[in-house]
């Protein structure tokens, strides 16, 4: 068993945040009508993808009836519909949809993680919950040796990427980078951070995030990866 796999097993067993433990279990028990026949996952979502990935995505947290139901990040919800469609267009996913963790989806040169691994009430995390989950993200960053592009999905994912990079000593800033869709920051000679609006319904239904806007992030990621110097 590899170190990344061992880490994800620890993630799934985590019970550090009482509020999130109670909420994820409540949602899994009560369900919602349209998924009443599902056996909800109801545990922290492990990260997943290619351990040699050059592209890493950092989201907020699993959705109550998405990842908390299916057991895989961005799987079974509208945000995932947007994400996997775009990843597929640019060669980072084997298929454009993901409905369950057994649907055959494979990420290609891509790895998906999150600021927090448990579904939070109203999609809002407490600072203490972000701190509790941060060690998992930091450990992943050490283990993912080939990363060339980080994408922060939403302000929370963007901030998590910045804070992890700072804690690792990869970079320093005179002024903290500002979040804006399409913003680009060179963290090291070999590592670039891209910012994107999160593909949540709050953004996609209102037109704040359009499909061409979202595609532009992964088009740029593909360009940065292809232009990067070869691994040694």
pLDDT(170) > 80: no
Q: What pTM did the predictor assign?
A: 0.95
Q: Which of 200, 40, 11, 42 is nearest to 117 (CA)?
A: 11
User: 3-class SS at 62?
Assistant: coil
3-state SS record for 105-163: CCECCEEEEECCCCCCHHHCCCHHHHHHHHHHHHHHHHHCCCCCEEEEEHHHHHHHHHH
Q: Which of 86, 224, 42, 203 is nearest to 147 (CA)?
A: 224
Among all chains, which residue has been given the structure tokens 């592009």? 149
- Specify which residues 110 forms β-bridges with: 55
Identify the weakest region by mean pLDDT among 93-97, 166-170, 188-192, 214-218. 166-170
Q: What is the pLDDT of residues 14-66, one digit of tens each?
A: 999 999 999 999 999 999 999 999 999 999 999 999 999 999 999 999 999 99
Q: What is the pLDDT of residues 98-117, one digit of tens each?
A: 999 999 999 999 999 999 99
Domain ranges of the chain: 3-227
What does pLDDT average to over the chain?
95
In CATH terms, the superfamily for domain 3-227 is Uracil-DNA glycosylase-like domain (3.40.470.10)
Beta pairing, strands 48-49 & 110-114: antiparallel
């Amino acid at each position: 068993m590899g170190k990344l796999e061992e880490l994800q097993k620890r993630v799934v067993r985590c019970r550090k945040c009482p509020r999130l433990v109670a909420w994820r279990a409540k949602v899994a028990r009560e369900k919602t009508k349209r998924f009443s026949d599902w056996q909800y996952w109801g545990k922290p979502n492990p990260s997943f993808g290619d351990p040699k990935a050059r592209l890493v995505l950092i989201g907020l947290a699993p959705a109550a009836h998405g990842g908390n139901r299916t057991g895989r990040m961005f799987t079974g919800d509208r945000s995932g519909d947007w994400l996997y469609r775009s990843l597929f267009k640019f060669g980072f996913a084997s298929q454009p949809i993901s409905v369950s963790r057994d649907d055959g989806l494979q990420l290609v040169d891509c790895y998906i993680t999150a600021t927090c691994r448990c579904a939070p009430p109203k999609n809002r995390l407490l600072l203490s919950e972000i701190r509790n989950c941060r060690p998992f993200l930091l450990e992943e960053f050490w283990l993912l040796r080939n990363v060339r592009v980080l994408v922060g999905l939403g302000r929370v994912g963007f901030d998590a990427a910045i804070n992890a990079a700072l804690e690792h000593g990869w970079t320093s800033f005179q002024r903290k980078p500002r979040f804006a869709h399409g913003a680009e920051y060179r963290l090291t000679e070999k590592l670039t951070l891209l910012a994107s609006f999160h593909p949540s319904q709050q953004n996609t239904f209102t037109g704040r995030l359009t499909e061409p806007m979202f595609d532009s992030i992964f088009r740029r990621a593909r360009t940065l990866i292809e232009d990067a110097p070869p691994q040694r």
